[in-house]
């Protein structure tokens, strides 16, 4: 048998939505009920690294996540593998003496190894980075010629928010109108250099798995929430335009106001679901005691710290946003505001040790000085 292995490794950061995606109009293709906008983080701190390999000696498709084998049988993976294989091109590696024709990809099996450098499934959109990275790496391996936007529509079928991680900087997921999903894809609004002053602070409160999966949560919200209908029809269309303007003009005051308002409406929509979903104080799983105590106050504390502080200044200094997990994401208008924000957070939530501090604030700690 032939002995060669072809490999590609890619790295993809996660993204944080400032206009939230919540609710699908088509669950199979993953088509959303509204547009969404996100910021892609820098690859250093919150990213997935994925290696994909093809070899005639592999006898099935297999995948390992953080070193543990996981099943590829779910729709999200199968949809991505099928879509990428359908677009594969000819590949030639002269060094290895390998020649793969387009049609051979149907028979060649894949091994996939993926690592997250952050907690999986704790609301830090690990699926976003993971599926985006998988699609990107496979497209490179199989010489897929489609551009990033077309690839984003494939990643979308793995996990909705994944489509936004195909680009850096500020990204919009356009919901699209078509039933086949071809126009439901990501576009870059501004690149990662556009708004250099902006500092993102993430408090990782718990690394435990979230209670309600986003798929189940969204389904129940779409079926039962009247507020979601109002949000999708009347609120988000205007808000995305305002957010695009705020990003274009680096207008932090508008950016902060829209980001906080949208996070709050997303959680209001969750609460408007029957049965109600509480992502902001979801404490029912087994997490460390100090985390539990911290978490109960964290969200309301952060909201009140930020709201009070912003009101006491001439113009907003910071913004918050919370996703479907027990972590808090904050934006500061510049480094000075970021340092002040961190000092306040550490005052209200004093870490009991240096190790604690390490475990709940990711990123550039030099900002503390
Ligand atoms: O892509 P999913 O199924 O993990 O859903 C993500 C939903 C939120 O993170 C809560 C919002 C968003 O737009 O990312």
Tens digits of residue pLDDT in 222-255? 999 999 999 999 999 999 999 999 999 999 999 9
Please report the atom of ligand 1 found closest to the CA of residue 215: 3
pLDDT at 205 > cutoff 80? no
pLDDT computed for residue 126 by the predictor: 66
pLDDT computed for residue 348 by the predictor: 77
Ligand 1 mean position to 236 CA, how many Å?
15
Reported confidence tier of residue 287, pLDDT bands at 50, 70, 90: very low
> How would you classify the pairing of strands 91-93 and 98-100?
antiparallel
pLDDT tens figures, 291-350: 334 444 567 778 889 999 999 999 999 999 988 766 788 899 999 998 898 888 878 777
pLDDT computed for residue 213 by the predictor: 81
Q: What CA–CA distance (Å, rounded) separates 20 from 63? A: 30
Ligand 1 mean position to 123 CA, how many Å?
8
Ligand 1 mean position to 22 CA, how many Å?
7
The pTM assigned to this predicted structure is 0.91
Q: Which residue has the higher pLDDT, 61 or 357?
A: 61
pLDDT tens figures, 140-183: 999 999 999 999 999 999 999 999 999 999 999 999 999 999 99
277 near 23, Cβ under 8 Å?
Answer: no
pLDDT at 356 > cutoff 80? no
Ligand 1 mean position to 96 CA, how many Å?
41
Short-list 109, 339, 333, 123, CA closest to 210: 123
Instruction: Tell me the mean pLDDT in the region 355-364.
Output: 59
Q: Which of 24, 324, 327 is the best mutation target for the ligand 1 pocket, counting ligand atoms within 8 Å of the beta carbon and taking the most?
A: 324
Please report the atom of ligand 1 found closest to the CA of residue 324: 10
Ligand 1 mean position to 279 CA, how many Å?
12
ipTM at complex level: 0.98
The structural architecture, per CATH, of the domain 199-368 is 2-Layer Sandwich (3.30)
pLDDT at 354 > cutoff 70? no
Reported confidence tier of residue 125, pLDDT bands at 50, 70, 90: low
Q: What residue ranges do the domains of the chain occupy?
A: 6-190, 199-368
Ligand 1 mean position to 127 CA, how many Å?
9
Mean pLDDT of the chain: 88
Tell me which of 1.10.8.620, 3.40.50.460, 2.60.120.10, 3.30.230.10 is the CATH number of domain 6-190.
3.30.230.10
For ligand 1, atom 9: residue with the closest CA: 323
Q: Show the ligand 1 pocket: residues with CB < 6 angstroms.
A: 17, 20-22, 36, 125, 127-128, 159-161, 214, 323-324
Burial 198-212 (b: 16+ CB within 10 A, else e): bbbbbbbbbbbebbb
Please report the atom of ligand 1 found closest to the CA of residue 214: 3
pLDDT tens figures, 75-102: 999 999 999 999 999 999 998 889 999 9
């Amino acid at each position: 048998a032939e002995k060669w292995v072809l490999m590609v490794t890619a790295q993809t950061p996660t993204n944080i939505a400032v206009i939230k995606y919540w609710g699908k109009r088509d669950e199979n293709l993953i088509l959303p009920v509204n547009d969404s906008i996100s910021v892609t983080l820098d690859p250093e701190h919150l990213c997935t690294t994925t290696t994909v390999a093809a070899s005639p000696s592999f006898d099935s498709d297999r995948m390992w996540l953080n070193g543990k084998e996981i099943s590829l049988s779910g729709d999200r993976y199968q949809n991505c593998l099928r879509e990428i294989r359908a677009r594969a091109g000819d590949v030639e590696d002269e060094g290895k003496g390998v020649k793969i024709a387009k049609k051979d990809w149907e028979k060649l099996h894949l091994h996939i190894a993926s690592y997250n450098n952050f907690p999986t499934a704790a609301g830090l959109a690990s699926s976003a980075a993971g599926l985006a990275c998988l699609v990107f790496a496979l497209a490179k391996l199989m010489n897929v010629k489609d551009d990033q936007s077309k690839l984003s529509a494939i990643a979308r079928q793995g996990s909705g928010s994944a489509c936004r991680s195909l680009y850096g900087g500020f990204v919009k997921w356009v919901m699209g109108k078509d039933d086949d999903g071809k126009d439901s894809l990501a576009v870059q609004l501004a690149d990662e250099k556009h708004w250099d002053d902006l500092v993102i602070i993430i408090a990782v409160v718990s690394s435990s798995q979230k209670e309600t999966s986003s798929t189940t949560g969204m389904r129940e919200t779409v079926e039962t929430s009247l507020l979601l209908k109002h949000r999708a029809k009347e609120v988000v269309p205007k808000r995305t335009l305002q957010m695009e303007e705020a990003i274009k003009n680096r207008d932090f005051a508008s950016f902060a106001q829209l980001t906080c308002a949208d996070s709050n409406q997303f959680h209001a929509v969750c609460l408007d679901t029957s049965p109600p979903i509480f992502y902001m104080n979801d404490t029912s799983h087994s997490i460390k005691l100090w985390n539990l105590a911290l978490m109960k106050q964290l969200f309301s504390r952060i909201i009140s710290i930020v709201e009070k502080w912003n009101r006491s200044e001439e113009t907003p200094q910071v913004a918050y946003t919370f996703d479907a997990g027990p972590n808090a994401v904050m934006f500061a208008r510049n480094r000075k505001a970021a340092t002040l924000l961190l000092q306040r957070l550490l005052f209200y939530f004093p870490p009991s040790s240096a190790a604690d501090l390490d475990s709940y604030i990711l990123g550039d700690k030099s900002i503390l000085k």
